[in-house]
A = this chain, B = another copy of it.
Amino acid sequence: MKIAVSGKGGVGKTTISASLISFFLSKGYKVFAVDADPDVSLGTVLGIDDDSVEGIKPIVEMREVISKKSGGGGAYFPLDPQVEDLMEEYVIQKDNLFFLKMGAVKQGGSACYCRENTVLNALVNSLLVKQKEIVLLDMGAGIEHLTRGTSGGVDLMIILTEASKVSVNTALTVKKLAQELGVKNINFIGNKIRTEKEKEFLKNTLPPDEILGFIEYNEEVLERAMGVHPLEKSSAAIIDIKAIGEEILARNS
């Protein structure tokens, strides 16, 4: 399964991505976690040290690997040991977690990230994901990854939103763009929920059956619980994440 996590800046994409990655790891999945924001932070939140994240090559430099493996475009290739060897310089591996980053920080005024987005799209499109494997992309804030089509190859677009008008506006724009990209499954998660009223607001402004669940406001608990072997704590926020993780697996199996 290939998943992209998107939404307005500050809704908690990286925190929730890392929590879901931890959940899938705890269920025995092999997870390919991709930081698709040039301003990388998923690695840090997953507990990988900054030097290691700096040290790997970004996906944008994998063009030849992708091209060779997919026979010049179009064909699928599996993440078998042979491909993993080719990818070694691009990946930080910790047990069943494989961390990759889309791009690196460039010089001010030097360039856009169009090429990075194109190569990432090629990789996501050509990867053949097997049983018990998940590719999860933590997208940049806003909508440009959608107008660029970066996340077009995913099976599931998870859109995070808080219970505010501007956050829901972005969420619905993201949904419309994802539909235009042909993404089949599009679901929402209500994050940083403080009251029943906030839940009701989201149930009234989003299609209720497309909501995977709600996560109680408690960033600190989630942040402290993250890393590669997390989620053993039992706060409300962590219980919410586990329920949502199970819901994702149930809906997409």
Whether A108 pairs with B142 at a CB distance below 8 angstroms is no
A11 in the interface (beta carbon within 8 A): yes
Which residues 98-119 of A sit at the B interface, judged by CB distance below 8 A? 105-114, 117
- On whether the beta carbons of B148 and A109 are closer than 8 Å, the reply is yes
A169 beta carbon closer than 8 Å to chain B: yes
A170 within 8 A of B: yes
Q: Shortest 5 CB-CB distances between A and B: which pairs?
A: A10-B10, A9-B9, A108-B180, A109-B149, A9-B141
* Interface presence of A39 (CB below 8 A): yes
Asked if A152 is an interface residue, CB under 8 A from chain B, the answer is: yes
Digit string of A55-66 for contact with B (CB within 8 Å is 1, else 0)? 000000000000
List which A71-126 residues lie within 8 A (CB) of chain B: 105-114, 117
- Measured in the bound complex, the distance between the Cα atoms of B107 and A149 in whole Å is 9
Min distance, Cβ A59 to any Cβ of chain B, angstroms: 16
A147 within 8 Å of B (CB atoms):
yes
For A150, give the chain B residue with the smallest CB separation. B109
Chain B interface: which of A171-179, A198-206, A228-236, A242-250?
A171-179
Does A41 have its Cβ within 8 Å of any Cβ on chain B?
Answer: yes
| Residues of A bordering B, CB below 8 Å | 8-14, 37-39, 41, 44-45, 50, 105-114, 117, 140-144, 146-149, 152, 165-166, 169-170, 173, 176-181
B112 in contact with A39 (CB, 8 Å):
no
- B10–A11 touching, CB < 8 Å: yes
Chosen A-B contacts, 30 in total, with CB atoms closer than 8 Å, are A8-B10, A9-B9, A9-B13, A9-B142, A10-B11, A37-B142, A38-B142, A39-B141, A39-B170, A41-B166, A41-B170, A50-B169, A105-B173, A105-B177, A108-B146, A108-B152, A108-B178, A108-B179, A108-B181, A109-B149, A109-B152, A109-B181, A110-B147, A110-B149, A111-B148, A112-B114, A113-B144, A113-B147, A140-B141, A144-B144
